């Protein structure tokens, strides 16, 4: 199994984060582990939207992971747990280094190196191929995002060592509600950033069409401006109509852009009403020959793992489950960012 869409901020078990928090003596509002664990469990009846989800949990996890030692332990544990729960063979871990420098106390270089070292240990211990995708932030300034691009190029993969690839790609993440993709100046600057990364040998993925805030129109803008290799979610394609739908379907198919599907998180953030909706979407993608892969996004916030996400989608596909899930795995292999 290949995990290609998983965030460091939502993939570390609360027990590990609690140990880091206590060992570092961080002052927080959490009085004990039970309160802490409960606060890091995203429940469908509590989460109001994607923005609410992003704002509610990540500030806490990113703050705890904001030191080289914490980042290294966290990265290691993501792979170790994913392997033990779902026997994954490959994992591309994404995170925003700028959000882990603790207000300038640490350098991004130190954080990226620490995550690389954590993943090297995990690759060696569990035989899992790993790589890093650095996430830009819609909620960061363009200047800060340029710093992440420069850091990604500086630390880009020079080939895998014992399965550990280093930095292999760039992502765009953060709240969709500001609909920055509709702003021409912003989008053209981001396109220049992404092109610089691509020229340095990095692959591109981009969170868009995860909610109606960017929607099908946002997906179209991103594809036309950036030509990403993959798209984070793109579930809003299901709501596209008319000429926008025609253009999206043809671009996704012709340019072979893979949609990274994450079923449970879409349900928790109320983007889809039920899993049946995801099942119908997978059938539609297969029919239109649009590449897709299945992922977890934030497994420890939503209490899932990759094996479970496959089972969830499979349960909606009836007799076609085996062939459609195999197709998803084939697309995942074809669209991997890892070098070997």
Binding site for Zn ion (CB under 5 A): 297
Of 194 and 317, CB closest to Zn ion: 194
Of 21 and 235, CB closest to Zn ion: 235
Question: Considering the complex, what minimum distance in angstroms separates the CB of residue 340 from Zn ion?
Answer: 25
Of 174 and 291, CB closest to Zn ion: 174
Please give the Cα distance from 281 to 130 (Å, whole number).
29
Question: Considering the complex, what minimum distance in angstroms separates the CB of residue 152 from Zn ion?
Answer: 17
Question: Considering the complex, what minimum distance in angstroms separates the CB of residue 216 from Zn ion?
Answer: 18
| Angle between helical axes of 50-64 and 14-23 (0-180°, round to 10) | 40
Query: In angstroms, how far is CA 13 from the centroid of its own chain?
Result: 17
How far separated are the first and last CA of the chain, in Å rounded? 15
Burial (CB count within 10 angstroms: exposed 0-12, middle 13-18, buried 19+), residue 47: buried
Of 21 and 152, CB closest to Zn ion: 152
Question: Considering the complex, what minimum distance in angstroms separates the CB of residue 234 from Zn ion?
Answer: 11
Of 163 and 218, CB closest to Zn ion: 218
Question: Considering the complex, what minimum distance in angstroms separates the CB of residue 264 from Zn ion?
Answer: 12
Of 72 and 205, CB closest to Zn ion: 205
Please give the Cα distance from 232 to 299 (Å, whole number).
15
As given in the structure block, the two tokens for residue 265 are: 């998180």
Residue nearest to Zn ion (CB): 297
Phi-psi region of 324 (alpha: psi -120 to 50; beta: other; left: phi over 0): alpha
Question: Considering the complex, what minimum distance in angstroms separates the CB of residue 325 from Zn ion?
Answer: 21
Question: Considering the complex, what minimum distance in angstroms separates the CB of residue 230 from Zn ion?
Answer: 11
**Hey, how many other C-beta atoms are within 10 angstroms of the C-beta on 246?**
11
Please give the Cα distance from 207 to 205 (Å, whole number).
7
303-307 long-range contacts (CB < 8 A, ≥24 apart) are 303/41, 304/264, 305/81, 305/82, 305/85, 305/86, 306/1, 306/3, 306/82, 306/85, 306/86, 306/88, 307/1, 307/85, 307/86, 307/87
Question: Considering the complex, what minimum distance in angstroms separates the CB of residue 101 from Zn ion?
Answer: 21
Alpha-carbon dihedral angle through residues 62, 132, 292, 3, given to the nearest 10 degrees: -80
Of 181 and 297, CB closest to Zn ion: 297
Put the strands of the sheet holding 2-7 in their side by side order. 2-7, 90-95, 129-137, 164-173, 203-208, 230-233, 258-261, 292-294
Of 90 and 297, CB closest to Zn ion: 297
């Amino acid at each position: 199994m290949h995990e290609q869409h998983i965030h460091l901020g939502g993939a570390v078990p609360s027990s590990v984060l609690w140990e880091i928090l206590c060992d570092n003596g961080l002052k927080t509002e959490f009085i004990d582990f039970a309160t802490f664990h409960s606060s890091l469990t995203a429940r469908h009846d509590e989460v109001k939207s994607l923005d609410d989800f992003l704002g509610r949990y990540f500030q806490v996890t990113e703050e705890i992971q904001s030191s080289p030692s914490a980042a290294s332990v966290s990265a290691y544990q993501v792979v170790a747990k994913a392997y033990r729960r779902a026997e994954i063979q490959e994992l591309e871990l994404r995170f925003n280094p700028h959000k882990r420098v603790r207000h300038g106390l640490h350098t991004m270089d130190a954080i990226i190196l620490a995550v690389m070292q954590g993943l090297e240990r995990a690759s060696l211990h569990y035989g899992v191929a790993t790589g890093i995708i650095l996430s830009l932030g819609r909620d960061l300034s363009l200047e800060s995002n340029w710093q992440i691009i420069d850091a990604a190029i500086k630390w880009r993969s020079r080939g895998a060592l014992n399965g550990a690839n280093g930095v292999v790609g760039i992502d765009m993440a953060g709240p969709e509600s500001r609909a920055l993709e509709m702003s021409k100046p912003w989008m053209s600057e981001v396109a220049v950033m992404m092109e610089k990364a691509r020229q340095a040998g990095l692959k591109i993925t981009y969170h868009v069409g995860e909610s109606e805030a960017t929607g099908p129109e946002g997906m179209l803008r991103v594809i036309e401006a950036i030509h990403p290799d993959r798209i984070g979610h793109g579930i809003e394609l299901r709501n596209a109509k008319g000429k926008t739908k025609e253009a999206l379907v043809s671009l996704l198919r012709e340019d072979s852009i893979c949609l990274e599907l994450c079923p449970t998180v879409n349900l928790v953030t109320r983007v889809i009403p039920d899993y049946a909706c995801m099942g119908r979407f997978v059938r539609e993608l297969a029919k239109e020959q649009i590449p897709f892969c299945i992922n977890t996004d934030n497994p420890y916030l939503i209490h899932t793992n990759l094996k479970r996400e496959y089972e969830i989608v499979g349960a909606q596909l009836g007799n076609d489950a085996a062939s459609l899930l195999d197709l998803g795995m084939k697309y995942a292999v074809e669209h991997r960012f890892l070098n070997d």
